[in-house]
Amino acid sequence: MQDQSQPVFRALADPTRRAIITMLSEGPRATGEIASEFDMSRPAVAKHLTILREGGVISVKPRGRERINHLNPQALKRAAMWLNYFDEFWDDRLSNLKKLVEE
Amino acid sequence: MQDQSQPVFRALADPTRRAIITMLSEGPRATGEIASEFDMSRPAVAKHLTILREGGVISVKPRGRERINHLNPQALKRAAMWLNYFDEFWDDRLSNLKKLVEE
DNA sequence: TTGACATGTAACCATTTGGTTCTGTATTAA
DNA sequence: TTAATACAGAACCAAATGGTTACATGTCAA
């Protein structure tokens, strides 16, 4: 079980980064467009984007002089799966059903 | 949606703390018992336990001179719910079923 | 009651984190 | 071709993080 999930959980640890994730769930955004939504400098936001990229949470496609940031839900799934392991402790009913469905 | 989940995500950000969570999912453990499993000093582990407690992830019951640490899955659920919001992006089928079940 | 055990907490330290400003480099528009 | 735009990256800084050792306190056992 050893820590493949560390970069994802690290990415999730900061509220600004979680806000960026939420923002990108509505659709891809250019870097500057994201930065303009926050009360901090563009390089600060750029650093957060780097950490999100390192965690595999977002991917970037250059388009002209812009860089378009896309959410990469696969990476979030890794963290969700880790947490869902504990499902059984808070919701046996739903967890059992899920297992059934997955079979 | 504003940051009630911050302390939980903070608690989840460190690999040692996630290991402690896994350990406690097998059953309650005394502080020293937990510390002995890690290659670091007891106070270091105690600090991690404090952060887990602040995140509501564990709760502590004194028993004699020991302090028994219990997993508190409710707090983990908070983080899981945040992530599950993005379910729809990676697994529409299961997410739809879940919604149906929850009704 | 005395000593060992289980633990918490304080003081300290190196590294990481999250922010800043400044500078450099493509790319688009005039 | 020149000026403005969109961005990356370096250098710097304060505060938070994750670790340490040393010390204090409550509880159990002899």
Is any atom of nucleic acid chain D found less than 7 Å from the CB of residue B15? no
Residue A84 φ/ψ, nearest 5 degrees: -65, -20
Q: Which one of A58, A81, A83, A85 makes the best mutation probe of the B interface by having the most chain B beta carbons within 10 Å?
A: A83
Nearest protein residue to nucleotide D20 (CA to C1' distance) is B41
**Is the Cβ–Cβ distance between B61 and B67 less than 8 Å?**
yes
Strands A58-63 and B29-30: unpaired
pLDDT confidence band for A86 (50 / 70 / 90):
confident
Beta bridge partners of B71: B58
The pairs formed by A33-39 with CB atoms below 8 angstroms and a separation of 24 or more are: A34/A69
Which domains are seen in chain B, by residue range? 2-102 (1.10.10.10)
Determine whether the distance from the CB of B24 to the nearest atom of strand C is below 7 Å. Answer: no
**Is a pLDDT exceeding 60 seen at residue A90?**
no
Query: Which pLDDT score, from 0 to 100, does residue A1 have?
Result: 43
Separation in Å, CA of B86 to nearest CA in chain A: 7
**Using CA atoms, how far apart are residues A80 and B79, in angstroms rounded to an integer?**
9
What is the pTM (predicted TM-score) of this model?
0.87
pLDDT in tens, A47-81: 999 999 999 999 999 999 999 999 999 999 999 99
Looking at strand C, which nucleotides approach a protein CB closer than 7 A?
5-11, 17-22, 26-28
The pLDDT-based confidence of A45 (bands split at 50, 70, 90) is: very high
List pLDDT tens digits, range B44-65: 999 999 999 999 999 999 999 9
Option in B79, B86, B101 nearest A94 (CB):
B101
Q: Which residue of A has its CA nearest to B25?
A: A86
What confidence tier does B86 reach under pLDDT thresholds 50, 70, 90? confident
For range A21-49, the mean pLDDT: 97
What residues in A contact B102, CB-CB < 8 Å? 94
B1 pLDDT tier (thresholds 50, 70, 90): very low
pLDDT of residue B94: 55
With CB atoms and an 8 Å threshold, state whether A73 touches B82. Answer: no
Smallest CA–C1' distance to D26, residue: B65
Say whether A12 and B13 touch across the interface (CB within 8 A): yes
Residue in chain A nearest B22 by alpha carbon: A86
Tokens of B88: 């729809």
Structure tokens at A23: 């923002």
pLDDT given at position A17: 98
Residues near A98 by beta carbon (within 8 Å), at least 6 away in sequence: A87, B94, B98
pLDDT at B97 over 90: no
- For B29, the enclosing helix (H) or strand (E) is strand B29-30
What confidence score (pLDDT) does residue A49 get?
Answer: 98
CB A18 within 8 A of CB B9: yes
The pLDDT mean for chain A works out to 89
| Residue A3: per-residue pLDDT | 73
Question: Nearest residue of B to residue A10 by CA position?
Answer: B13
- DSSP for chain A, written as a single string: --SSSHHHHHHHTSHHHHHHHHHHHT--EEHHHHHTTSSS-HHHHHHHHHHHHHTTSEEEEEETTEEEEEE-HHHHHHHHHHHHTTHHHH-HHHHHHHHHHH-
- Encode pLDDT of B8-22 as tens digits: 999 999 999 999 999
